[in-house]
Structure 1
Amino acid sequence: MSFFGLDYAKKKESELERKLRANDREYNLSFKYATNAIKTSKYNTFNFLPLNLFEQFQRIANAYFLILLLLQVIPAISSLSWFTTVVPLVLVLSVTAVKDATDDINRHRSDNQVNNRKVTVLIDGELRSEKWMDVHVGDIIKLGNNQFVTADLLLLSSSEPLNIVYIETAELDGETNLKVKQAVMVTGDMGDNIHNLALFSGEVSCEPPNSRLDRFTGTLTNAGQKYSLDNDKILLRGCTLRNTEWCFGLVLFGGPETKLMQNCGKTTFKRTSIDRLMNVLVLCIFGFLAFMCTILAIGNRIWEQLWGSEFTAFLPRQGGVDTPFSGFLTFWSYVIILNTVVPISLY
């Protein structure tokens, strides 16, 4: 939901009922409903590097080698060049970043293609061709045979007897058999009369955006009369109109608020079962490494105390470093020396 900002997220959380009026953009815009534009990509030019690095360092091995790199720049404990860690780490991060960037560029292209599809919208008493992303809640749109449903719509009328339509929902539930939807009789009588459709000012009160594909509850109020609405009168985004010459629909939910997008969820950092298993393995290996380094540091402490003074001619001690602190530094020195216990090439 970051595409629409924090205000939209807060509004959406507090929305308990959706209210809209047909052919009245000014009224509907006052509720600040989402437009029909979608965004499935994760990054943009400005946040790609910090966000991608943050996600990559959630892998424990990457975080381990970053800490190791920081240790290697401390002369008091490092006996190896920092190049031995930074080169493979940068290589692993770069390859993963290029892969993630390529995937996200493809998402941007897909979003752009969908958002710029054309649909016929009834505006100011005439039918106009508009982009999908410019469609708003409360607009009346016309769909043709084999055309994708632009947003979540209340079916108003159709070319078929009894104002029924046939839709294919393969993109929603994987089912290829056609389903039948039927308009409310009071709106079905308008047919394809543009004048009557343009004068239609019915008000809809319905449930807020949600991910339930098989349920819908709402009420249509027109000329003082109320009509119950259910799932059989709703066309969902992602469906395809079949065996129906034309139909008109009233936009109830657009873009990220449609049931299709509500079920898609937010695009997240891909984490496979292998990634999770490797995190556990790296933690176990790091625990083993810490145990070995602790034993070696304790052994160094004992050796320094008992026999170290006899070898000062060969192993001079650093001035100002006492024996206990020397053992602490030795622990981290062994961490650096034995860093290949966790192989970065594994990734």
Structure 2
Amino acid sequence: MTITVIPATTPPSTGIAVVGNLTDIGGSANQQFFDDGTNGDQTPGDNIYSYLAVIPGDITGGFRNVTATVSDAQGRTVNLNQVLTINAPLPDDDPLLFGNPSNATADIANENNYLMLKPQYSLSYNRSKATPNWVAWRVDTTWLGDAPRQDDFRPDTALPVGWYRVESADYTGSGYDRGHMCPSGDRTRSIPDNSATFLMTNMVPQLPANNQGPWEQFESYTRTLANQGNEIYVISGVHGNAGTIAQGRIVIPLVTWKVVLILPNGTNDLSRVNKGTRAFGIIVPNQPPLNQSTPWRNFRVTVDAVEILTGYDFFSKIPKGTQEIIERRRDRE
């Protein structure tokens, strides 16, 4: 956060101080801002006062107010207010309630398993592949409405500074679709929700026969389940390397996969999972030959099978005995 200060001249300002109230984002009520090249400040002595704030990992999404006061030794003050938007899961709608499958973290040093939390979905980003490792979201009828498809594919500016930000044009002429992980159709409650699914961090190079065939069929099936009174926790991702597009920047996956856990609508979801809870996965080839009309059920597997493929641990917060039963069960519905 930065505040640009224009010192007074009559008489000249001395002893300038900038203090912010960061309690709404988990910080101090009297946080000093700096103009000495530390604490996030870029250039000492340029009258741009800065503070690099870390948002606690357990803070919920929404709007937060940050206020600040600028003062000088001559007794002059200026009060400032800024509204920040915290991109984090909404209360009671955390798609990682049952566990973080790869133990992704929001540490920029963890660049190939980098956790990004958004109101609409959460993801683990892989800088070296320029795709997500996985994307997690929850769908029920509260997420479904009549907002139109936005088609506003664009770079994700939430990526750390200096990381390549994939452009929509990077897929042009590649022979691969900009394949959504969290689908547009699962986020139609509002235009901002739908627009969020078109960030390129939610995309992978997907074979058209996959994306427009069994993949889309399965997306529609999970929305049918939601409309029947269920809530579905979905984690979707990629595996393998079949080459690259965009001058080598973006890796083409060999397969795409999903795991789902299905519960009747309710509250206290973690405590409601039992040995009869329905959970399964799909693994779909992302290379030819693939018939677009092949039913999605032909690619159905156990959750265990997706864990073996990826090395991830799904639903790790569910008690071990229950987790083992639902993950090895073959789905027949």
Bigger RCO (CA 8 Å, 6+ sep): 1
Q: 1 or 2, which has the higher helix percentage?
A: 1
Smaller-chain TM-score range?
under 0.3
TM-score normalised over the length of structure 2: 0.20
